Amino acid sequence: MSDLRFQRPDDDATLRDWQHVHNTIIPTHLLSLDEIRDRAQRHHLEVAYLGDVLVGCSTVRPPTDDTATATVIARVLAPHRGRGFGEELYARGLDRARELGARVIETVVLSSNEDGLRFACAHGFVEIERYVLPGETVPWIDLRRA
């Protein structure tokens, strides 16, 4: 276990940190601070730090349908990958999704994020859908944990 510190983004500084990780890893779908504030009301967001160094962020979209499907997304900045931080973010997200009643776990990865796809596949996810959002050119991939 590393010395990661996790925090829910609850002020402009931590919201900006979450935004930085998201927008760095998902450059085709940049989010404004207001959009992130909205997401923080609907989803469980966390930011991960190693000491004072920003490492990554996560999103858990709670179950919203009869299938009790939740979406768990873990993002780690490139310089910090391969050190188990994604494992910790993912495990925390998975625990949170289960606390919220999830029976099915999905994730979504931008197709150009090869590290993210590798991580998802290594954790038992299989592709269920591929699509391009309006105004974008890079496909998104929805994956479900087998």
pLDDT tens column, 11-29: 999 999 999 999 999 998 8
DSSP string covering 1-48, please?
A: ---EEEE---SHHHHHHHHHHHHHH-TTS---HHHHHHHHHHSEEEEE
Per the CB < 8 A criterion, the answer to whether 77 and 55 are in contact is: yes
Residue 1 has pLDDT above 70, yes or no: no
Residue 64 has pLDDT above 90, yes or no: no
Q: What average pLDDT does the chain have?
A: 95
pLDDT for the residue numbered 65: 75
pTM: 0.93
Lowest mean pLDDT among 53-57, 64-68, 89-93, 132-136: 64-68
- Domain residues of the chain, as ranges? 4-145
DSSP 54: E
pLDDT of 74-97, one tens digit each?
A: 999 999 999 999 999 999 999 999
The verdict on domain 4-145 having CATH code 3.40.630.30 is yes
Task: For tokens 């190693």, name the residue.
Answer: 50
pLDDT of 98-120, one tens digit each?
A: 999 999 999 999 999 999 999 99
